[in-house]
Homo-oligomer: A and B are copies of this chain.
């Protein structure tokens, strides 16, 4: 079924919503943990649910290469394959292909590249991307877009955006050829140029999308640039559709974007940082590899109520990391995801109670102080 989006409360530009799909509903603003290869690294599906995750993101590009969409289709889709009965968003595969840099060739048809797994030539057109996402049976599929590099001239950004819009049209037509299992999101491009962003949005609004994403941010631009783009663009976006800011970000980036009306987020930071020993605390970041933790009997964060903080010392976590023990990656991931998913709960509660701006001001002040303490 096509996802339905209901807005339940607003506070300034921010909204509390519910995104209802065939596999259940998602309370927004929501953070989507990344399940690249059909597993959020180190976690079971039940652990994710216990942490409060209601939706995960899976990477079409990676799953296309391993195990291949045929294996997943044989399972009846990604939900059954990975034993995650809740909503799944899949990306188009485009971003990862563009990241291959010299190994890929872009034409109007789509992208061709050499598989980093076996060297074979692979083609990814808007139609290919839709076919794969349909085979995965994701609840939310993304249109294939051309990823505008940063920095880009206005001319470059316009050409890239216009190609994205043509690919969006092809994605939309192909996705809706027969009854799809979910809904399709269009992606606004246009680099850092407000007029191009508006033009991109207007082009997309020629068609009906289940939601709209803001692409081409979190690509290295300064924070002020990103917020300026959001402040120009988001008020023009339809209020009755979910808005997804792709690839963002740090907790403070999420807070700032929620204040500007964004509903959905994904980022590798909590899970990847966890495996590298970078852990979030209410007074800043810690690196568990630091020698200072060796004799530290305290938890990562005494104010945290996660399984890891309730039961394990920093000393033990440092030991597990040093010995490359799997349990270390697990416990660190539980903690960082708890931080992110707790933040989303707190943001939803603040919006429901009409106190988002004071919550955000307090939170951002604390993060700035924490960043100062680390530096």
Task: Find out whether the CB atom of B75 lies under 8 angstroms from the CB atom of A325.
Answer: no
Whether B294 pairs with A42 at a CB distance below 8 angstroms is: no
* Nearest chain B residue, comparing its CB with the CB of A318: B67
Does A38 belong to the interface (CB within 8 Å)? Answer: yes
Report if A43 contacts B (CB, 8 A).
yes
In the assembly, what is the distance between CA of A82 and CA of B297, in Å?
A: 12
- Compute how far the CA of A43 lies from the CA of B326 in the bound complex, rounded to whole angstroms: 8
* Bound Cα distance from A83 to B327, whole angstroms: 12
Q: Is there an interface contact between B327 and A44, defined as CB atoms closer than 8 Å?
A: yes
Check B312–A83 contact: CB distance below 8 A: yes
A67–B322 touching, CB < 8 Å: yes
Check if B294 sits within 8 Å of A71, measured CB to CB. yes
Please name 22 pairs of A and B residues whose Cβ atoms are closer than 8 Å in the assembled complex, sorted by A. Answer: A37-B319, A37-B320, A37-B325, A39-B325, A41-B327, A42-B330, A43-B327, A66-B319, A66-B322, A67-B294, A67-B319, A67-B322, A71-B319, A74-B297, A75-B297, A75-B313, A75-B315, A81-B316, A83-B312, A83-B316, A326-B326, A326-B330
The answer to whether A42 and B297 touch across the interface, beta carbons within 8 angstroms, is no
- Chain A interface extent, by class: 20 to 34
**Cross-chain contact A42 with B327 (CB below 8 angstroms):** yes
Extra contacts, 19 of them, besides A44-B327, A44-B330, A83-B312 (Cβ < 8 A), are A37-B320, A37-B325, A38-B319, A39-B320, A39-B327, A41-B327, A66-B322, A66-B323, A71-B295, A74-B297, A74-B315, A75-B297, A75-B313, A75-B315, A81-B315, A82-B316, A83-B311, A326-B330, A330-B330
Closest Cβ of chain B to A73, distance in Å, is 11
The complex places the Cα of A277 from the Cα of B329 at a distance, in Å, of: 20
Bound Cα distance from A297 to B71, whole angstroms: 9
Q: A67-B294, A294-B67, A297-B75 are in contact. Are A38 and B316 (CB under 8 A)?
A: yes
Given contacts A37-B323, A39-B325, whether A81 and B44 have CB atoms under 8 Å apart is no
* Residues in B neighbouring A322, C-beta threshold 8 A: 66-67
How far apart sit A313 and B67, CA to CA, in the bound complex (Å)?
13
Q: Mark A300-341, 1 if CB is under 8 A from B, else 0.
A: 000000000001110110111011011101100000000000
A325 to B275, CA, bound (A): 12
Residues in B whose Cβ lies below 8 Å from that of A43: 327
Bound-state Cα–Cα, A82 to B366, Å: 32
Question: Which residue of B is nearest A334, CB measured?
Answer: B44
In-complex Cβ contact of A326 among B41, B66, B71, B297 (8 A): B41
Partner of A74, one of B67, B295, B327, B329: B295
Most buried by B among A41, A43, A44: A44
Residue of B nearest to A323 (CB): B37
Residue of B nearest to A275 (CB): B326
